[in-house]
Amino acid sequence: MGDSVHTYLKAIGRRQLLTAEQEVDLAKRIEAGLYAEHKLEAGGLSPGLRADLEWVAADGRRAKAHMLEANLRLVVSVAKKYSDRGLSLLDVVQEGNLGLIRAVEKFDYSKGYKFSTYAMWWIRQAIQRGFADSARTIRLPVHVLEMLSKLSRVERDMHQRLGREPTPEELAVELDKSPEQVRELLRTSRQPISLDSTIGEDGETRIGDLIEDTDSPEASELVDRQLMAEQLRRTLDILSPREAKIMAMRFGLYDGTPRTLDEIGKALGLTRERIRQLEKESLSKLRHPSNARPLLDFAV
C-alpha cells in the first residue's frame, strides 16, 4: 500500500463516527440548508430574510461536510473490494466518494434507518459507474478527453447557475465551439460501451460484471425494500416462534413465495382451521398501534 494511501487512511481515521442521533441532527440541518439555498436562488427577499437564509444555507453546508467526513471510512471499506480490478484504491475511493455525496443529499432521516445502510448502495453504484467510464475513456484520444473534461466542468457550472441543464447552443458559447460540435461531444461522452469490454492489466474483468442490471429497482427503492423486510421481521418478534413462522410463511418472508393455509398446516403438522386461528390471533397482535407504528414509515 503506497504512502498516499496510508496518509489518506490515517487522516480519515481521526474522524469520529456518528451516533444515530447525530446523523438525524446533521440530516435535518442539511435539509434546511438545501431549502434555504433554493429560496435564495428564487430571489425577491428582504435583506433580513436573505441574511437569515444565508446563515441556514452555510450551516447546512457545514453539516454536509461533517456527515461526509464522518463516513469516508465507509467508502474505503467498499472500495477495497474493487481495488484489484484495474484502478488504484485511491481512484476507486474517489469514485465512491461521489456516491457518498449523493447519499448525503438524498438521505431521508424520517425513515428511521441508519445512514450507512442507505449510503452503501450509492457508493457501490458510483464505483461501478466509475469503472464503466474508465473503460470508455481509455479508448478516446487525449485531445478529446481534454475537451470532454472541459465540457463536463462547464456543463456542471452552468447547471448550477441556471438551475437547469444548459442547451447545446448555450454550451457552445461558453466553449467557443459550434452547437453541432457540442452535440457531437455530448454524444461521445454518453456513447455506450460493450458489456464484454474488459478493464485492468489482466484484461479479465468484464464491464458487465461490474454494472448493475438496468432493469433492477433504483438504489433507494432497494434500500427501502430491504429495510422494510428487516423491520417486519423485527415486528414479528412480538409473536411466539410458531406464530412468527406462520406469518413469515403466509407472506413469503423467507423466499418471497406466500404459502396457503393448507401448505402451512402440512408443513407444521396442524389443521387448516388451526392455522387460520393462529393467523387471526397474530394479525390482531400486529395491528396494535404500538406494533404497527414502525411499519407506517414504509406505507405509500
Residue 239 is assigned to a structural domain of this protein: yes
Residue 90 is assigned to a structural domain of this protein: no
Q: Which residue has the cell 423485527?
A: 234
With a threshold of 0.75, does the pTM exceed it? Answer: no
- Characterise 270 by phi-psi region: left (phi > 0), alpha (psi -120 to 50), beta (else): beta
Q: Which amino acid is at 66?
A: H
210-220 pLDDT, tens digit each: 444 444 444 44
Residue 226 is assigned to a structural domain of this protein: yes
Report the C-alpha dihedral over residues 105, 111, 112, 113, rounded to 10 degrees. -60
Range of the domain at 227: 219-296
Query: How far apart are the C-alpha atoms of 287 and 268, rounded to whole Å?
Result: 24
CATH number, domain with residue 243: 1.10.10.10
Mean pLDDT for the chain overall: 77
Residue 104 is assigned to a structural domain of this protein: no
Query: How far apart are the C-alpha atoms of 259 and 247, rounded to whole Å?
Result: 9
Closest CA to 141 of 94, 93, 185, 198: 185
Query: How far apart are the C-alpha atoms of 92 and 77, rounded to whole Å?
Result: 11
91-108 pLDDT, tens digit each: 888 888 988 998 898 888
Residue 249 is assigned to a structural domain of this protein: yes
Residue 232 is assigned to a structural domain of this protein: yes
Query: How far apart are the C-alpha atoms of 204 and 219, rounded to whole Å?
Result: 27
**How much is the average pLDDT of 69-84?**
85
Task: Collect all residues with Cβ–Cβ distance below 8 Å to 298 and sequence separation of at least 6.
Answer: 111, 224, 227, 228, 231
32 and 60 Cβ atoms separated by less than 8 Å: yes
Whether the predicted pLDDT of 252 surpasses 80: no
Q: How many CB atoms lie within 10 A of CB 80?
A: 12
In the prediction, which pLDDT does 229 show? 58
In DSSP terms, which residues pair with 167 in a beta bridge?
Answer: none
Residue 148 is assigned to a structural domain of this protein: no
Residue 128 is assigned to a structural domain of this protein: no
152-209 pLDDT, tens digit each: 788 878 877 777 788 889 899 888 888 888 888 887 766 554 445 554 444 555 545 5
4-60 pLDDT, tens digit each: 667 777 777 777 888 889 999 999 999 999 899 988 888 888 989 999 999 999 999
Number of domains, the chain: 1
Query: What is the length of the chain?
Result: 300
Query: How far apart are the C-alpha atoms of 148 and 138, rounded to whole Å?
Result: 13
In the prediction, which pLDDT does 54 show? 93
Helix axes 168-175, 179-189, angle to 10 degrees: 100
In the prediction, which pLDDT does 232 show? 63
Closest CA to 25 of 74, 67, 73: 67
Which ranges of 166-215 does DSSP label H, i.e. alpha helix?
168-175, 179-189
Q: Count helices and strands (H / E) in the chain.
A: 14, 2
Residue 234 has phi, psi (to 5 degrees) of -65, -35
**How much is the average pLDDT of 136-165?**
74
